[in-house]
């Protein structure tokens, strides 16, 4: 129950064990076509350039920036946590001049600040922001941010690593241009793959580059010759065959449940955790309208060793939760409710175990009504 990787569906583990075939085998290419179609459904997009990067979410991030940033480009990056900072690093390494728009860790990106930065830097043609900030448990309004970016003629890069499958994400309806995600969060697949999708504005920007993409491996002009449509494919690299088996199964499972049902499940169990921790006298650091259901950032009570609590949960209950990062290190616990790990059994385990550990440490917290307040039976 940490910030990822999440638990993996048993059906996904079974899929991983299927016999490995060649990456140009006709049966595997047919499955790649299915993965692409499934991803288009999950991203809520018709983008032809929808595929899987052979690497974790950070590789998807780097693929977006490597293809869309050229030396000297002005790039506006919003940072309200660790992964906005990673966007900044990647844009700079691609030669971009980064204009940083900073908000407090634990708060959503301020659209007014973002628009002000675009007004002050009219030469900017690319903007990046995180939809679901895993380091803080914050959900930002990327629909509004994308609308602002487009008013200023900017292509958008959106981090959806933790949001895909867990909260509403409407790539086409919100006109998001380049979006990347990961498989190890709400999709409940193994780490190591990054779904990406590029819309018309991003594709046009890619086609107008004045220089080659500096990364051969991440150059979409080359990769799409392998992830294109139909049976005829050009060799690019040896794809992670079995991991893609697993992703295919994870996407099938998600769509069996239904996207709306998955979003509702994540929201419902988040509310149970919220009620339970508040009954203990603890607080979530993010204001209610900005909370990310699948990543709950809980403030550590004064005088409590947050590391000792995590160790006690792991040793005594086989339960893993995450620590804070950056400016929130030592101040919060990050509790994941992702994919198949987002269920009532885990909610009961977490609330009961945390309550017991805090009591054993004589921590300043209330107890006794935790599970009743969470309405867990």
Residue after which a domain boundary falls, among 256, 277, 312: 256
**1: in domain:** no
**3: in domain:** no
| Statement to judge: residues 214 and 352 lie in one domain | no
Task: Give me the torsion for CA of 234, 239, 245, 250, rounded to 10°.
Answer: -100
**245: in domain:** yes
Q: Supply 84's token pair.
A: 């906005």
Q: What's the domain range around 132? A: 10-256
| Statement to judge: residues 67 and 131 lie in one domain | yes
| Statement to judge: residues 123 and 272 lie in one domain | no
Q: Supply 194's token pair.
A: 């990054």
- Residue 377: the pLDDT is 46
**5: in domain:** no
| Statement to judge: residues 185 and 275 lie in one domain | no
Sheet holding 332-336, edge to edge: 295-299, 332-336, 322-323
Q: Could you read off the pLDDT of 119-163 as tens digits, one per residue? A: 999 999 999 999 999 999 999 999 999 999 999 999 999 999 999
Residue after which a domain boundary falls, among 256, 285, 303: 256
| Statement to judge: residues 276 and 242 lie in one domain | no
**4: in domain:** no
- Hey, which residues does 196 pair with through a beta bridge? 51, 180
Please tell me the pTM assigned to this model.
Answer: 0.95
| Statement to judge: residues 240 and 317 lie in one domain | no
**2: in domain:** no
Q: What is the CATH number of the domain that holds 157?
A: 3.40.640.10
| Statement to judge: residues 252 and 267 lie in one domain | no
List phi, psi (to 5°) of 21: -115, 175
Q: Which residues of the chain have pLDDT under 50?
A: 377
| Statement to judge: residues 234 and 347 lie in one domain | no
Q: Supply 155's token pair.
A: 């292509």
Describe the crossing of helices 344-360 and 306-317 by its angle, rounded to 10 degrees: 120
Phi-psi region of 134 (alpha: psi -120 to 50; beta: other; left: phi over 0): alpha
**221: in domain:** yes
Residue after which a domain boundary falls, among 256, 277, 311: 256
- Residue 24: the pLDDT is 87
| Statement to judge: residues 22 and 125 lie in one domain | yes
Q: Supply 87's token pair.
A: 């966007």
| Statement to judge: residues 239 and 103 lie in one domain | yes
């Amino acid at each position: 129950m940490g910030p990822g990787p999440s638990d993996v569906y048993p059906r996904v583990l079974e899929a991983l064990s299927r016999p490995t075939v060649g990456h140009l085998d006709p049966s595997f290419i047919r499955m790649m076509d299915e993965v692409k179609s499934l991803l288009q459904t999950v991203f809520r997009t018709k983008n032809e350039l929808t595929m899987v990067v052979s690497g974790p979410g950070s590789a998807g991030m780097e693929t977006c920036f490597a293809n869309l940033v050229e030396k000297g480009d002005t790039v506006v990056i919003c940072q309200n946590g660790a992964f906005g900072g990673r966007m900044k690093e990647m844009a700079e390494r691609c030669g971009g001049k980064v204009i940083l728009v900073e908000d407090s860790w634990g708060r959503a990106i301020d659209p007014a600040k973002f628009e002000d930065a675009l007004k002050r830097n009219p030469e900017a043609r690319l903007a990046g922001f995180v939809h679901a900030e895993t380091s803080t448990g914050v959900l930002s309004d990327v629909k509004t941010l994308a609308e602002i970016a487009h008013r200023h003629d900017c292509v958008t890069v959106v981090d959806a690593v933790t949001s895909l499958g867990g909260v509403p994400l409407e790539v086409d309806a919100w006109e998001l241009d380049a979006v990347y995600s990961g498989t190890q969060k709400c999709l409940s697949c193994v780490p190591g793959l990054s779904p990406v999708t590029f819309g018309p504005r991003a594709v046009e920007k890619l086609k107008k580059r004045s220089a080659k993409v500096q990364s051969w491996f991440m150059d979409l002009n080359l990769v799409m010759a392998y992830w294109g449509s139909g049976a005829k494919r050009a060799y690019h690299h040896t794809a992670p065959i079995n991991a893609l088996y697993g992703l295919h199964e994870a996407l099938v499972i998600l769509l069996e449940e239904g996207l709306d049902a998955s979003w509702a499940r994540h929201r419902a169990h988040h509310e149970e955790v919220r009620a339970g921790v508040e009954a203990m006298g603890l607080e979530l650091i993010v204001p209610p309208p900005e909370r990310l259901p699948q990543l709950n950032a809980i403030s550590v009570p004064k005088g409590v060793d947050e590391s000792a609590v995590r160790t006690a949960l792991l040793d005594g209950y086989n339960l893993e939760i995450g620590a804070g990062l950056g400016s929130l290190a030592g101040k919060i616990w990050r509790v994941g409710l992702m994919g198949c790990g987002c269920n009532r059994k885990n909610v009961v385990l977490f609330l009961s175990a945390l309550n017991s550990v805090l009591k054993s440490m004589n921590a300043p917290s209330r107890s006794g009504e935790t599970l009743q307040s969470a309405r867990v039976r």
